[in-house]
């Protein structure tokens, strides 16, 4: 079973080369993605988003492996991913997850000059971010 974390990182960092599709066992799509530079970046972006929201599957159609859910997932991973990608430097993703203090800190530092925002973006996409109560995020 293929990992959501690994697939997201490959898609985010090397998606334009099709590495994520090769990892998922989709060699033909990997080659197409490689020779089109990830569909001029559009296909690579779409694959990254699909992986982050839990809609990506491997070559056999199986869902990607994710850490076991902790607690009672209430907050949406999809919403958190969108907030992190679009407004993460302002801490909106942290406010959404209930981390008010960290949200304010992230806001006044502009996402730690972008570094903290980038790390949070990766953590949400990999499916390892938790809400303020320690619950996993739910797909949807």
Instruction: Please provide the DSSP assignment of 23-74 as one string.
Output: HTT-HHHHHHHHHTHHHHTHHHHHHHHHHHTT--B-TTSPBPB-PPP-S---
Q: Model confidence over 36-66: pLDDT tens digits?
A: 999 999 999 999 999 999 999 999 999 999 9
Number of separate domains in the chain: 2
CA distance 37 to 66: 28
Considering the domain boundaries, does residue 94 fall inside one?
yes
The mean pLDDT value for 11-34 works out to: 98
pLDDT for the residue 111: 96
- Is residue 61 domain-resident? no
Report yes or no on 57 lying in a domain. no
Pair 85, 136 in one domain: yes
The whole-model pTM stands at 0.92
Tokens at 47, concatenated: 């694959």
| Per-residue pLDDT at 80 exceeds 70 | yes
**What phi and psi values does residue 130 have, to the nearest 5 degrees?**
-120, 160
Which structural domain, as residue segments, surrounds residue 16? Answer: 4-52
């Amino acid at each position: 079973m293929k990992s959501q974390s690994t697939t997201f990182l490959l898609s985010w960092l090397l998606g334009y080369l099709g590495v994520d599709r090769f990892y998922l066992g989709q060699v033909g799509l990997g080659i197409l993605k490689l020779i089109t530079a990830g569909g001029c970046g559009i296909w690579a972006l779409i694959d990254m988003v699909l992986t982050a929201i839990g809609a990506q599957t491997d070559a056999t159609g199986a869902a990607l492996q994710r850490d076991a859910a902790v607690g009672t997932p209430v907050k949406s991973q999809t919403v958190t991913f969108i907030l992190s990608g679009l407004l993460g430097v302002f801490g909106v993703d942290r406010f959404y997850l209930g981390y008010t203090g960290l949200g304010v800190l992230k806001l006044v530092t502009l996402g730690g000059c972008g570094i903290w925002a980038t790390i949070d973006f990766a953590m949400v996409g990999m499916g390892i971010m938790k809400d303020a109560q320690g619950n996993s995020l739910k797909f949807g």
